[in-house]
Amino acid sequence: MGILDSKIPSGPLADKWTKHKNDINLVNPANKRNIDIIVVGTGLAGGAAAATLAELGYNVKTFCYQDSPRRAHSIAAQGGINAAKNYQGDGDSNYRLFYDTIKGGDYRSREANVYRLAEVSGNIIDQCVAQGVPFAREYGGMLDNRSFGGVLVSRTFYAKGQTGQQLLLGAYSAMNRQINRGKIQAFNRHEMMDLVLVDGKARGIIARNLVTGEIERHSAHAVVLATGGYGNVFFLSTNAMGSNVMAAWRAHRKGAFFANPCFTQIHPTCIPVSGDHQSKLTLMSESLRNDGRIWVPKKKEDAIAIREGKLKPTEIAEEDRDYYLERRYPAFGNLVPRDVASRAAKERCDAGYGVNKTGEAVFLDFASAIERYGKEKALTSGLKNPDKATITKLGEEVVEAKYGNLFQMYEKIVDQNPYKTPMMIYPAVHYTMGGLWVDYNLQTTIPGCYAAGEANFSDHGANRLGASALMQGLADGYFVLPYTIGDYLSHDIRTGAIPTDTKEFDEAEQQVRDRMEKLMGGSGIHSVDYYHKKLGKIMWNKCGMARNEKELKEAIKEISALRKDFWENVKIPGSIDSKNQELEKAGRVADFLELGELFAKDALHRNESCGGHFREEYQTEEGEALRDDENFKYVAAWEYKGEPKDAELHKEDLVYENIELKTRSYK
């Protein structure tokens, strides 16, 4: 069982990144012009990396399966991006952001990576402001902040409820500048089908043109994977329907270790499932918990009456409401981390207090915030003794200015006015903390293959704090990878262009074609979605918000059997050599059917509860996660051995020299 080399620099924590940048090799501008880099995925991490690498002088090729990088799932991030600028003067610092991130991840993160993330966070805001990202501002013109779960300071910068979209437009504009200069070649509507290794190094990819069906070869001196997470293994998730694990999984099959696959985040603030007809779920930003109060009725008979439509939530008296997060976690209240809030909602609903027809929803109520903001606005407007209607009107205007597009989205989907009646929310699969194992340089176990953003495992441990995904994606793309990849590429300045007419490319392309032929060879009994939905139900029921040994073992067997049935009986109409969206989906689901089994295997081996990984056998008397630091304070990195059941475990021990490990409490 190997111990992985994370290549963490020596020296004091606060000096590691600076020292590392001073010590690593560089590529001079004249030599950068002769080096090619492939970037797969053009969301925040990939777009930022591609734009920066091209601006440095490298020749970059970008690939995305969407028709434009603007459609990357990064646009779905709503609430904000963290940075330790301490604009509020409330005690924030790089160390505080570092500490909150480590604690939020339940002490399963790598210290050096997380401190670097905190250290460069302020630069991200400056970069994005310079690009024209319209962050919210206070009356005096300073950038505004709001609070997010798991912290006691305001450090989240935001652009209404569209932060991800605005940040992505900034990265996209930087990409477009380099496309116009000829430094980026953009291949949209292309999907990476396999990674090509030459002499053990990543030297290119096999891609499929999703419009024509043509198989293409593309070479480079290094390959960057920035293809997001694998939440769609659950079928129903907040991810875009096209989000998949294909690029990362194909790299895994070629030798890149896959780390902590069971560390998957359940977001507490999503619109509840309404029926089997759904193909995805919708996220309501965690920023709403900054002003909204979460509650269920104290009396089961009231909850039943609400479910049956006999009682409205506004008819429940204040003393008959259970603001359970405020009751259980008085220090943090509604702003506890996502895993804590999610499990608390599940516990209340499992106990019979759920408020929608299925009994799987709780209320997120803005009445108190509307009243508070209304009174404040009345005072600052010079209104004396305003009536209730005036206070409500003024309060709604303030809430609309902060969250208006989110309220509008909720009303369009649920057909209820959240200004007048509480929102209904319930946890849903959202983000994946697991991913390809990378070292401090963001390089996988395959030389020349890098992973950035959600595609790697590196920064969030067992649970990601809200507003940290955008921070990590942009940190990796703008400020980390452009430095560290040069250290590797400095050895390639005399290599010359990588040819694609070699046996390695021949073999990789043939393997891709053989795989597609095998997919098309199914007997045609069931559709791709049939298998995806079945997999999703196994994952949610047995590998979801709570897990136990018995059900995880069942899941492993069931997923293995389902995968066998899929390859024998899937139905894919059309042909390989043309546009074929069912074939696209089939390739992705085939990978999910392997990942799902490894996910369950990883969850089964980790006999502890931490963050988003909650094993029912390992919990405190209060129902909180019970870590086992003595036996599981490591990154679990799995090596591909042909079948998920045969995957070999490698461990990277996590060393905490600057933080004392504590029971994670938010009370």
Helices (H), 132-245: 163-180
- C-alpha–C-alpha distance, residues 214 and 577, integer Å: 6
Question: What 3-state DSSP class applies to 308?
Answer: coil
Q: 464: which DSSP letter?
A: P
Query: Position 21: which residue type?
Result: K
Shortest CA distance to 460 belongs to which of 101, 50, 56? 101
For 496, phi and psi rounded to 5 degrees?
Answer: 85, 175
- C-alpha–C-alpha distance, residues 24 and 351, integer Å: 56
- C-alpha–C-alpha distance, residues 545 and 548, integer Å: 11
Question: What 3-state DSSP class applies to 252?
Answer: helix
In this structure, the number of other CB atoms found within 10 A of the CB of residue 343 comes to 23
- Give the CB-side neighbour count of residue 473, counting CA atoms within 13 A: 35
- Within 8 A by CB and 6+ apart from 660, the residues are none
**Angle between helices 388-414 and 367-380 in degrees, nearest 10:** 140
DSSP string across 495-535: T-PPPSSSHHHHHHHHHHHHHHHHHHTS---B-HHHHHHHH
Bridge partner list, 431: 265
For 266, phi and psi rounded to 5 degrees?
Answer: -100, 120
- Is there a catalytic annotation at residue 338? yes
Q: Give per-residue burial for 585-605: e unless 16+ CB within 10 Å, then b.
A: bbbbbbbbbbbbbbbbbbbbe
Query: Position 84: which residue type?
Result: A
- C-alpha–C-alpha distance, residues 436 and 415, integer Å: 40
- Give the CB-side neighbour count of residue 367, counting CA atoms within 13 A: 15
Please answer whether residues 433 and 463 qualify as being in contact, where contact means their C-beta atoms are separated by less than 8 angstroms.
Answer: yes
Query: Position 609: which residue type?
Result: S
First-last CA distance in the chain: 39
Which token pair is 52? 């920066």
- Give the CB-side neighbour count of residue 223, counting CA atoms within 13 A: 30
What 3 state SS string does 435-451 have?
EECCCCCCECCCCCEEE
Which of 108, 338, 588, 664 is flagged as catalytic?
338
Shortest CA distance to 664 belongs to which of 343, 292, 427, 267? 343
Question: What 3-state DSSP class applies to 278?
Answer: coil
Bridge partner list, 238: none
Please answer whether residues 208 and 250 qualify as being in contact, where contact means their C-beta atoms are separated by less than 8 angstroms.
Answer: no
User: Which residues carry out catalysis?
Assistant: 338
